[in-house]
Structure 1
Amino acid sequence: MEGWKLLVTVGWLFPTCQGYDPKNILVLGGNGFIGAATSERLIARGDNLVLVNRGNWYWDSHSTVKPHVKHLTCDRQRQLRHCEDLRRFKDFVYFDVVVDFSAYHSEAVEDVLDLLKGRVGRYIYISSDSVYEVCSKNHSNPSRESDAVRPMNAEEKLQMAGKDDYGHRKLECEEVLVRQRQEEGGVPYVLLRLPDVIGPRDNTYRWWMYQMWLRLSGYLERQISIPKFLMDQKLSFVYSLDVADMVVKLTDCELGKFDNAYNLGTDEMPTLLEVLELMKRQLNLENTHIPVNDSAEAIYLFPSVKLGPVDSSKAKDMLNWTPTSFETISRQTIRFYEFAIRNKGFVLARKEIIRNMQAYFTKQPHNVLYGLNGVYGIKYPDTHDEL
């Protein structure tokens, strides 16, 4: 305990930007896709980070994040008051910012606000465009922040909530932050509503699976295709590194930007076919045919919502949101996964992508291994150990 007090008093041993006053930041999650990228940026800036998560370190976050933060192992499925380390720690630290990547139930947000009452300066919550799925959107244009309004009728509200449980729960988390702010002494908040996130180190593997599906198409029985109902559907994406940059910016921006929700998306709103055609060109696979699939069993990995893309103009106007171009995002993401499939430093992620390819795209799992050898020239001497 005395050691922790000393750490807080003198500052942790991070290289601090010249003239910058380090902040105490509580990161809930911080070891996954966007969270690790955000933590890396805050570490580089010289902030004092406390990460609260279950102790799983994804991709290379065990080396890029873990050694540079105060890590507290806690499971948010249980109340944080059961996390003894955090209970002791919070008694002598004021957190300038809470960045919440891991709340999927309203009780999880309430728990943080209750435990850290009077000890938080601002709260950044990572939400989702899925919230619009449970609201009464009355137009066909890209979803705006003002569309996140539940039906007034109780029965209709219940029916809408049942259509998308994830969106319902994320919106409940948002509603907790809005309500507490309306009370005296409430914490300023920002809600970042993200569409499908793409970029390096994605734990859902969706982009990587499409990339491998194209690359190994000559070895797989199930060929890549576009469901007919998605042919003309415009989609929204956001780059994980752009989100990380925005979160870092919000930890230091004026509070006049807070108490708002913001959609963050790319300027482009491509169809799934346009995404895959771009991927083909960047992989030099222009001759690979992508047919339309009328089957109800057609596999697709994007989009994760039904209501279409999001409008990011509010973030542009108020936060100077300047997203990376989709072509650049695609190129950088492809380059990373082409590297990752060969890199034993990502052994767990590599095992997972191979298993997914074997499970969903072929009835003969060894074909995936033949494809890895034939396409990438990779012969794993430990093939059996890999899988």
Structure 2
Amino acid sequence: MRLLMLGGTEFVGRAVTDEALARGWQVTVFHRGHHPPPPGVVAVHGDRRAVDSLASLGQGEWDVVVDTWASAPSAVRDAARSLLGRVGRYVYVSSRSVYRYPCPAGLPEDGPLVDASPDDGEVEYGRAKRGGELAASGVFGDQALLVRAGLILGPGENIGRLPWWLGRVARGGPVLAPGPRESALQYIDVRDLAVWTLDAAERGLDGPYNLVSPPGHTTMGELLDACVRVTGAGAELRWTDPEAILKAGVEPWTQLPVWLPPGELYDAVHQGDVSKALSAGLRCRPVEETVADTWSWLRGLGGVPPQRPDRPRVGLDPAVEAAVLGG
């Protein structure tokens, strides 16, 4: 198989590229040159936001293109138009943020979607991803696969959610652990996303798929317990009721990554219907493996993970944590 990866040097794009290379695929990576691509690819430099940016790809042909773009949908539109007739299938890595909020628990792929246009410029994230879907589908029709990923964790994460928890637990001492301990989580290991995406492309799947683990694949307790085990720091998890955390003004998801208290947002993020993807072969590795491999990768970087410049840093200030635990 011949893969054209738009991006391919960080997190999701890198995981897809690595998986394709492991399968013996021929991989072309189109990127801006800010980060080195993996060995074994054909690297082509260019900025897709520039006029005729994809011209540097020449007249090459590929079986599959994978696009992870999360900004102006018009860039997806232009890429799709440029590649029509030279690519067999357009895979767009989208997001479950395309669903109109509030999303009830168990929402499948045909749920209500945000308003968007493939011609949009810079817009907020959910609208950008929905516009990207419309752009890919509008050009490639039933040759477009839309991968609606949920929370993505694993080695290479450049947003900082699991790396923050690992770093915090590694410091030891009392750790503010947001309850309920048995709160079910949904996420997808970036490598499982890559495997399923390339399998689906090979099989010729099209249309939208929610891609995240089944509800209850793990819990907040199991995630943080795994962090304690792999770091070996002897941290003490202090499980705290959501009410006390919220009363202290601590922000779920951003200051305490991954965690959401019971309610509408929790249902939207951690209770989605993934039966379609499971029927299409989705397999999710144990949380212990995701945590251990992320810790190993993080240690290899000296404990300092990369950070996407377009995303705010996550995590809780130690003084705030101490105040909540002391209260």
TM-score w.r.t. structure 2 length? 0.77
User: How big is the shift at 1:287?
Assistant: 3.3
Which structure 2 segments of 5+ residues have no match?
Answer: 118-122, 320-327
Aligned residues: 296
More displaced stretch, 25-34 vs 274-283: 274-283
CA RMSD of aligned residues (A): 3.3
> What residue number does 2:94 align with?
127
Q: Which has the larger radius of gyration?
A: 1
> What residue number does 1:8 align with?
none
Please list the CA deviations of residues 182-241 of structure 1 after superposition, one character each: whole Å capped at 9, or x if unmatched.
Answer: xxxx460111111111111111122111111112144xxxx743567x777543110011
**1:291 and 2:240 are equivalent in the alignment:** yes
**1:314 and 2:269 are equivalent in the alignment:** no
CA distance in 1, matches of 2:39, 2:62: 20
CA distance in 2, matches of 1:281, 1:30: 32
CA distance in 2, matches of 1:231, 1:287: 14
Q: Secondary structure at the match of 1:247?
A: helix
More RCO (CA 8 Å, sep 6+): 2
> What residue number does 1:326 align with?
287
More displaced stretch, 188-197 vs 329-338: 329-338
> What residue number does 1:143 align with?
107
**1:248 and 2:248 are equivalent in the alignment:** no
Q: Is the 8 A contact 1:28 1:98 kept in 2?
A: yes
Q: Is the 8 A contact 2:93 2:147 kept in 1?
A: yes
Which structure 1 segments of 5+ residues have no match?
Answer: 1-22, 152-156, 159-163, 364-387
User: How big is the shift at 1:99?
Assistant: 0.6
Q: Percent identity?
A: 24
CA distance in 1, matches of 2:8, 2:67: 8
> What residue number does 1:10 align with?
none
> What residue number does 1:36 align with?
14
**1:90 and 2:58 are equivalent in the alignment:** yes
> What residue number does 2:317 align with?
361
What letter corresponds to residue 210 of structure 2 in structure 1? N
Please list the CA deviations of residues 97-155 of structure 1 after superposition, one character each: whole Å capped at 9, or x if unmatched.
Answer: 111122432101111122123212101111111112x3574xx323321114347xxxx
**1:68 and 2:40 are equivalent in the alignment:** yes
Please list the CA deviations of residues 320-375 of structure 1 after superposition, one character each: whole Å capped at 9, or x if unmatched.
Answer: 11211223323333343344437xxxx7749x9xxx79x96357xxxxxxxxxxxx
Q: Is the 8 A contact 2:96 2:210 kept in 1?
A: yes
Pick from 168, 172, 184: which aligns with 2:127?
168
What letter corresponds to residue 317 of structure 2 in structure 1? F
Pick from 253, 257, 260: which aligns with 1:301?
257
After the TM superposition, which residues 1-387 of structure 1 pair with which residues of structure 2 at under 5 Å, given as runs? 23-57=1-35, 62=36, 65-79=37-51, 81=52, 83=53, 86-91=54-59, 93-132=60-99, 134=100, 137=103, 140-150=104-114, 165-181=124-140, 186=141, 188-218=143-173, 224-226=175-177, 234-253=184-203, 255=204, 257-258=205-206, 260-267=207-214, 268-284=216-232, 285=234, 287-292=236-241, 293=245, 294-298=247-251, 299-302=255-258, 307-309=268-270, 310-317=272-279, 319-341=280-302, 349=306, 361-362=317-318
CA distance in 1, matches of 2:77, 2:151: 26
Q: Secondary structure at the match of 1:68?
A: coil
The structure-2 alpha-carbon separation of the partners of 1:196 and 1:90, relative to structure 1 and needing over 3 Å to count, comes to same
The structure-2 alpha-carbon separation of the partners of 1:213 and 1:99, relative to structure 1 and needing over 3 Å to count, comes to same
Q: Secondary structure at the match of 2:292?
A: helix
The structure-2 alpha-carbon separation of the partners of 1:187 and 1:315, relative to structure 1 and needing over 3 Å to count, comes to closer
Q: Secondary structure at the match of 2:66?
A: strand
Q: Is the 8 A contact 1:99 1:125 kept in 2?
A: yes
Q: Is the 8 A contact 1:266 1:326 kept in 2?
A: no
> What residue number does 1:381 align with?
none
What letter corresponds to residue 224 of structure 2 in structure 1? L
Q: Is the 8 A contact 2:97 2:126 kept in 1?
A: yes
